[in-house]
Copies of this chain bind each other. A is one copy, B any other.
Amino acid sequence: MNRLTLALDVMGGDVGPRITIPASIKALENDPMLSLLLFGDRQQITPLLEKVPESILSRLTVCHCARVVENSQGLSYALRRSKGTSMRLAIEAVQKGEAQGCVSGGNTAALMGLAKIILQPLKGIERPALVSVIPTMTGEQSVMLDLGANIECSAENLYQFAVMGAIFAENRLGLVFPRVALLNIGIEEIKGYKSIRDAAEMLKNNTTLNYIGFIEGDLLLNGKADVIVNDGFVGNVALKTLEGAAKNVISLFKGNAALNKTNHICKPLFAWLVKKLFLKGSYQRLKQINPDQYNGASLIGLTSVVVKSHGGANSEAFAYAIADAALQARQQIPTKILAGLEKY
């Protein structure tokens, strides 16, 4: 692993530094070759660094700024007033070469807009997209895009997402000839928006891509496709729905709901049995679909790595987003996408 510096917008997200600073410390602990530039309000950040050991502190730099892009700001307003905000400064640090990638949990539209202006899309890419790795029931992983960067998409946009997604899956997941599918409301050719049907025609005609057809929402977790392509509105709803459903069902099992119902005699035995037998099998597999581990969504199609964390991420999830950005920067995903675009 090589040395790497990432720029973080520590003010982004629903909570801000109380989540992002502990996450930063966790990420630095886990990755000894990582350094971080933390953009945000020094007054809020400093108290959170009090008990942090010098070995960690030496790899982080607090870059004070007082201004923040708000979640409620519309795109054009946010862009006009973005100068000196933690989000913009983090992106600018990448543009200046001070960092090799950046992470923010802030306003998605503003992050996308600023990244497009400051970091520029790769040659040939009309619209960068938000992509995420999702787990499957088969123990594998898929990638899904767009997840909210582009609300409405043309057939050409969806086609480019498919190409970028395939390259991302090849590199990030190490897949050969990944299977690409379009998310739709049926598998028949006549189903769905015209943009999806037209994108399907374009994908069929490209034999260097392994296009397998339409996929429906109920099979998103079943490993039927390695790359799932959709517009940003539908993708965002589907991913959040997936996470919500998984979290809800898992919450029925996690915690002590079942244990608390047992009486005093049975309790220790039951606890042991559950731990030894039940947790070993099903629970381990459930952990694979813990949304925390799949927090980092990436803006791809840009010249550098930009990772968007969930606004509501906890510190563990935000730490995963940082680790994801570090991995992508080390894998030089943007360079590989650029090279791949010429292949397809």
Contacts and interface: CB of A to CB of B under 8 A. Distances in A.
Contact of A262 (B185, B238, B249, B277): B277
A221 interface: yes
A158 B48 CA distance: 46
Given A239-B217, A241-B238, A277 B249 contact: no
A277 B252 contact: no
Interface stretch (A161-169, A188-196, A198-206): A188-196
A32 interface: no
A156 interface: no
A222 to B, nearest CB: 7
Contacts of A241: 217-218, 220, 238, 241-242, 245
Contacts of A243: 217-218
11 contacts: A75-B190, A137-B252, A216-B240, A217-B239, A218-B241, A220-B241, A245-B245, A252-B285, A258-B278, A258-B281, A258-B282
Interface string A132-173: 000001000000000010011000000000000000000000
Interface in A173-193: 183, 185-186, 188-190, 192-193
Interface residues of A, number: 63
Q: Which of A246, A252, A257, A266 has the most CB atoms of chain B within a 10 A radius of its CB?
A: A252
Interface in A262-304: 262, 266, 269-270, 273-274, 277-278, 280-282, 285-286, 289
Interface of A is mostly: helix
CB-based closest 9 A-B pairs: A218-B244, A217-B240, A217-B241, A245-B245, A249-B249, A185-B236, A218-B240, A217-B237, A252-B282
Nearest to A243: B218
Interface in A47-98: 71-75
A331 interface: no
A286 B249 contact: yes
B281 A192 contact: no
Contact of A220 (B137, B244, B270, B289): B244
Contact of A185 (B237, B247, B289): B237
B277 A261 contact: yes
Contact of A217 (B72, B222, B238): B238
A234 interface: yes
B282 A277 contact: no
Contacts of A250: 249
A218 B190 contact: no
